[in-house]
Structure 1
């Protein structure tokens, strides 16, 4: 089985304090479901249509694990902090193997 990844682009943040309240419980939920945060932060360089917005990449052992982690009650509970505070583009992709 191939690894799978959450690829999260933060399109906008209107309430940085709310995002800070999201980070600790979200990270705990991700780790509890076997996720590993591989990269996070503003891009060092963008190309083509790239936007200089925060990006996060999280690795899971399988596609099913990545989906289950996102859909889990504990991770879903963390998203309340982002309502009205941030807009993101979240994609789950399977690695090539």
Structure 2
């Protein structure tokens, strides 16, 4: 069953570190089988919705998304980001 990786930046402290992360994270996610479906700031937010930068990536399974997180390429991206941002990452099952 497909899965979706939802990454929301709750705070950005260092734009340079964020740029270094983005440069490494994109290729790492694609190498792990991820397909970017959306990224950027929300066009609209309702109720308690946040307006922070969000990324939505499709994977073939939860296991594939979790493996992407633990991959050497993504870990290098996390190292580049360091304390440059705070994020919330969720991996959820898709609907059949």
Structure 2 length-normalised TM: 0.95
Q: What is the alpha-carbon distance in structure 1 between the residues aligned to residue 6 and residue 45 of structure 2?
A: 16
Distance of 2:50 and 2:6 partners within structure 1: 14
> 2: distance between equivalents of 1:94 and 1:70?
16
The TM-score, its normalising length taken from structure 1, stands at: 0.94
Match of 1:81 in 2: 80
Give 4+ residue runs of structure 1 displaced > 3 Å after superposition.
none
**Unmatched segments (≥5 aa) in structure 1:** none
Q: Distance in 1 between matches of 2:75 and 2:92?
A: 19
What is the CA RMSD across the aligned residues, in angstroms?
A: 0.8
Structure 2 unaligned regions, length at least 5? none
